[in-house]
Amino acid sequence: MSAPSPTPRRPRRLGWPQRVFSQVLLMQLAIATGVTALATGLFLAPLSTQLDDEAMRRALAIAQSTAAQPQIAESLLTTAPEPGGPVQSAAERIRWSTGAEYVVVMDRHGVRWSHTDTRRIGKVVSTDPSEALAGGEIMEIDSGTLGRSARGKVPLRDNADHIVGAVSVGIAYDSVHARLLAAIPGLLAYAGGALAVGALAAYLISRRIQRQTHDLAFSDISALLTEREAMLHSIREGVVALDRTGRIRLLNDEAQRLLGLGPDAAGRPLDDVLGRGRTADVLAGRVVGDDLLTVRGNRVLLANRMPTADGGAVSTLRDRTELERLGRELDSTRGLIDALRAQDHEHANRLHTLLGLLELEKHEDAMEFVTEVVGVHRATAEQVTEKVHDPLLASLLVGKATVAAERGVSLRMAPGTLLPDRLVDPRGLVTVVGNLVDNALDAAAGSDDALIEVGLRADGRTVVLRVRDSGTGVPPESRESVFTEGWSTKELPAHGKRGLGLAMVRRLAERQGGSATVAGAPESGAEFTVVLPEALTEPGLAETQHPEPDLTGGVQ
């Protein structure tokens, strides 16, 4: 059984190459060849005309110099046209000395007195000499008895300036054509050299493009760009690409949302778009590190930056706002659990005390003990609600007072505190007060006569908040740094990073056109002041915006 014949291989088809390097090289070689051929053609096209004009002018100049010799005109009038005559001798001498094809001297009747072919002497010329005999000068390329030539004709005058004949000088056209042909190799050599230089430049450029494009095909590059656009606009992380000058080169949809920018931000300097601040410093690389926290508006962002080979950088942004909120809620929950645990322990002690008083039948002392315990908590709640009419803020302060008491810190309202129930953004003020009280509680805990004093007052539609603590205070050189994201003197919590509370306080205040500052307290500790313009509504709108809660579950 014979073996099966092998399948014939198809010849490889020669087509347009796919690699960028090959395509660019071939295109540049084609362009260089076309430009060289075009330049050569444009140069050679007028060269023939230029050489013909040069030959005609040369023939005319020889004819003029011949006609300017007086002995030729005199010999023309005194001798006969013969091969050995003086006119023929003078004409041949001029022809040999100038390299002309012929020098013909004729009389007024057109009879030749000189010619390279002596048999034609004494015969009439083959072309019309009337224009030269009339006093004109002629330059032309024409065909005569010696073939095609560049010709110059001038009148021949005697001493009295009378026209006695004409002089016709010709330069063979073949010699002009030969000069043109002789010039072509040199031109082609120059053209070839230019083409070689262009080919070398095309090769070097193509190699550079090959390195920059990683030897990909145009179709691959197009597919990569399409996939990149789809990927950048579909991922849920913000991506910001900068060039070496700090100009935004790329900004995906998520980055626009997180930074609060529009599509027109691309192509503009980063500092002009974001303004001066930590966010711009982190993205520009002026602040270095991994997982840098920054606040933009009301968002907490986590930024990472990676430099690129061309001097630019690509930064990624992740939204940690909800995570930070949950982390703070976790801190608050843990604090509440600790407070409840402490209250449970204290409550058990109070119950044991009450049980002992009852067993000892000291009923009056038991009643006095219960009244005192209930009165302390009731007094704190009444003190807060009398001065702070907003229910959310009052509830927050009552809860903070309980937590502070469990940590051995007294929280009280400053004299003159009075805040009506007309807040435009109660949740925003709750965030500000909560952060400031938490920081004050951490600072005051463990100090002598630990105290937190909260002051809230309305000045028209402006709310002024002051929170003072009895802690160690903030050094003057650090009073601006405390509002910077990531700055903190506290121990790192289990769930993440610190240093965002005061930054968010200032950002919320500035967003409403206000300010947040810190100074030293009159006695000791620190005093934070937050001014919130336009934080209260007009008095007539208070009841419609913040109705009082009904104890039965309805609304009054």
Rounded to whole angstroms, the Cα distance separating 216 from 209 reads 10
Q: Dihedral (C-alpha) 223, 225, 228, 234: value to the nearest 10 degrees?
A: -90
Selected from 3.30.565.10, 3.10.180.10, 3.40.50.12780, 3.10.20.30, the CATH number assigned to the domain covering 381-545 reads 3.30.565.10
What's the chain's length in residues? 556
Domain boundaries, the chain: 22-179, 235-319, 381-545
Rounded to whole angstroms, the Cα distance separating 191 from 338 reads 91
> Count of CB atoms within 10 A of residue 151's CB?
26
Q: What is the pTM of this model?
A: 0.42
Rounded to whole angstroms, the Cα distance separating 429 from 420 reads 13
Contacts of 252 (CB under 8 A, 6+ apart): 232, 233, 235, 238, 239
Closest CA to 393 of 403, 382, 385: 385
> Count of CB atoms within 10 A of residue 523's CB?
9
What is the chain's pLDDT, residue by residue, as a tens digit (556 residues)?
444 444 444 444 445 555 666 667 777 777 777 777 777 677 666 766 777 788 888 889 999 998 888 898 888 888 888 888 899 999 999 989 888 888 999 998 889 999 888 888 889 888 888 888 888 898 887 765 556 678 899 999 988 888 999 999 988 765 555 556 666 677 677 777 777 877 787 778 777 777 776 666 666 767 777 776 777 666 778 888 899 888 988 888 888 888 888 888 888 888 888 887 778 888 888 888 777 777 777 677 888 889 988 888 998 888 876 665 665 566 556 655 665 665 666 667 667 777 777 777 777 777 776 666 655 555 567 778 888 888 888 888 887 887 787 778 888 888 889 988 888 778 788 888 888 988 888 888 878 888 899 999 998 888 999 999 988 888 888 778 787 765 555 544 444 444 467 888 888 887 777 888 988 877 778 889 999 887 887 675 444 444 443 323 332 2
Contacts of 308 (CB under 8 A, 6+ apart): 241, 314
Looking at residue 454, its pLDDT comes to 92
Furthest-apart CA atoms within the chain: distance in Å: 179
Quick one: 501 exposed, middle or buried, by C-beta within 10 A (0-12, 13-18, 19+)? buried
Selected from 1.20.1250.20, 2.60.120.380, 3.30.230.10, 3.30.450.20, the CATH number assigned to the domain covering 235-319 reads 3.30.450.20
The dihedrals phi and psi of 299, each to the nearest 5 degrees, come to -110, 140
CA dihedral sign of residues 386, 388, 394, 400: negative
Report residue 386 CA to chain centroid gap.
58
Looking at residue 175, its pLDDT comes to 52
Rounded to whole angstroms, the Cα distance separating 24 from 21 reads 5
Closest CA to 506 of 525, 528, 488, 489: 528
* Domain 22-179 identical in fold to domain 381-545: no
Closest CA to 253 of 242, 243, 240: 240
Looking at residue 530, its pLDDT comes to 93
Written as six digits, the tokens of 118 are 């002596």
Looking at residue 1, its pLDDT comes to 43
Domain 22-179 class in CATH: alpha beta
Looking at residue 498, its pLDDT comes to 46
Q: Nearest 5 degrees, angle CA 167-CA 172-CA 178? A: 150
